[in-house]
Amino acid sequence: MHGPFNRMGRRKPMNEINVVPFIDVMLVLLVIFMITAPMLTQGVEVELPQTASEPIEDTEDRDPIIVSVDRQGEYFVSLGGDETQVSLDELSQRVVILLERNPGTQVLVRGDRNVSYGQVVTLMSTLQTSGVTDVGLISEPPPGKS
């Protein structure tokens, strides 16, 4: 008698591992990660300092573009000292124009401490969609620190 059973009624040991269930699980995990990965990368990227920092030494002679939000939530763009009040849509257009004229110019955000966090995030998101890849945040040192 030939086949998986010999004369004593015992089964022959199987010398293969069935990997089909393993492949099924891996494909399900792959689909899950492909769907969730784009959701994890949404948002505004900001590099915040982890400790007290020193002022930035500007090695270039170019003035930075400073975008400000005041206490009332109004937006201002300044370059080289002249400050102009703008709406959020105008801000995006103006920053694009300024960066086309002077590529590589630093963009800094200065927000009033009484402005809501959501408004600052909206501003930074607008800057990101305008093509700004690196945004700096302006702050003042704590009292007693110089």
Structure tokens at 137: 């945040």
Q: Which fold has domain 65-137?
A: Nucleotidyltransferase; domain 5 (3.30.420)
**pLDDT tens string 81-115:** 777 888 888 888 888 888 888 887 888 888 877 78
Residue 22: CB atoms within 10 A of its CB come to 10
Average pLDDT in the 46-63 region? 54
**pLDDT score recorded for residue 57:** 60
72: nearest Cα among 125, 115, 119:
115
Domains of the chain by residue range: 65-137
**Beta strands of the chain (E only): which ranges?**
65-69, 75-79, 82-86, 107-111, 135-137
**pLDDT tens string 120-141:** 888 888 888 888 888 888 777 7
Q: Distance between terminal CA atoms of the chain?
A: 94
pTM over the 0.75 mark = no
**pLDDT score recorded for residue 67:** 87
